[in-house]
Structure 1
C-alpha cells in the first residue's frame, strides 16, 4: 500500500463519513496540535491544525486506515512548509525574545520545556531540517518503525537508517556544544 492510498474496498471497511471523521479528529487532534505548538508561532497553531483536518476531510478516501496519524503528520509537515513560505507581516508591537534572546513558550508540555534549553536548541539547530523532522517525529510524536516510514514516505528500513543517522548527527552536534 502506498502512503495516501487507502485500502477502503474491503468488506470491513468503515465508511468515511462524518462519524468517521469525528472519531479521527477526537483521536488525533491533540497530537497534531502539539506538532504545531513545537514548530510554529503560537498565533498560527490553531489555523494550521484546522488546515490539516480540512485536508484530511477532503482526502478522507485516500488516508490509509492503518496509518492515520502518520498521514496526518506528513500532511502537517506540508502545511507547515507552505505556511513558512508565505510572506508575513511583523507588527512592531509583537512580542519578541526575552532578555537572553530566547523565545519562551508558556506550555506545560515537557517536550516544549526541553527545547527551551539553550544547549538543546543549539544542537538541534546544527542539524538539517530532515534530521530534526525525523528526531521530532520519533521522540516527540512517538513514531517508529512502520509509522515513521509512512510519515517520511520511505521504506521501514529507510526510516530506521534515517533515524540512526539523525541520532548520530545529533550526538556529534551535542558533543560540539559541550
Structure 2
C-alpha cells in the first residue's frame, strides 16, 4: 500500500470516527463540564485520537469508550490547570420517569433524586453516570475510569447502595429510585 493510500485510509477512518462519536463525546463532556469548555475539550480529545489513531480499538463502541476516556482525561487536566474542582453536573430532572400519580408527586421525586444525587460523592456520580447516561458496558466504563470491569461493577454496586441510602433519607418517598437501581 502506498503512502498516499495509507493517508487516505487514516483520514477516512478518522472522519468516520468523528462523524459517529462526536455528538456522544460532546454530550459526555457537557454533562461533566457544562457548555463553556466542552467543545474545546472534545476537540482536544479528537486531536489525541488523530495522533493515536492506530491505538484506537476497531469496534465502534470500544472506540467510543476510548474517546470518553481520552475526553475525560482532558477534562481532568483542564480542571487541574484552571484550579477548579468540578463535580459531575447531570440534569436529572429530564430523566425522571413519568409514572407518578400526580404532578406534585413527580415534582417531589425529581427534587428527591436531584438532592440525593448532589449528596453523592463525585466518584459515585461518575460511576452511575457511565452506566445510566452513557450506557456503557462494565468493560467500557472500566476503560473510561482506568480500572478493570470487575472493579467497576463493585464501584457501581456501592454507588447504587449510596444513592439508595440518600433517597431513603429524603423527606418524600421516591419510588422512581428503583429504576436507577437495576441493571
Shared fold by TM > 0.5?
A: yes
Contact kept in structure 2, 1:145 and 1:160, CA below 8 Å: yes
More helix by share: 2
1:85 aligns with 2:80: yes
Give CA-to-partner distance per residue, 1:46-96, whole Å, 9 cap, x none. 1121111111111212222231111111112111112222338xxxxxxxx
Distance 1:25 1:170, change over 3 A: same
How far apart are the structure 2 equivalents of 1:125 and 1:111?
A: 10
The corresponding residue for 1:42 is 35
Distance 1:61 1:38, change over 3 A: same
Q: Unaligned regions of 5+ residues in structure 2, if any?
A: 1-7, 84-89, 97-109, 172-183
Contact kept in structure 2, 1:132 and 1:166, CA below 8 Å: yes
Query: What is the TM-score of this pair, normalised by structure 1?
Result: 0.70
Query: What is the TM-score of this pair, normalised by structure 2?
Result: 0.68
Distance 1:172 1:16, change over 3 A: farther
Give CA-to-partner distance per residue, 1:98-147, whole Å, 9 cap, x none. xxxxxxx9xxxx867349x5433321222222211111111001012322
Q: Following TM superposition, by how much is the alpha carbon of 1:35 offset from its aligned partner in structure 2, in angstroms?
A: 0.8
The corresponding residue for 1:162 is 155
Distance 1:111 1:120, change over 3 A: closer
Q: Unaligned regions of 5+ residues in structure 1, if any?
A: 1-14, 89-104
The corresponding residue for 1:71 is 66
Contact kept in structure 1, 2:93 and 2:114, CA below 8 Å: no
Between stretches 41-50 and 118-127, larger displacement belongs to 118-127
Larger Cα Rg: Structure 1 or Structure 2?
2
Matches within 5 A, 1:13-162: 17-66=10-59, 67-87=62-82, 113-114=94-95, 117-162=110-155
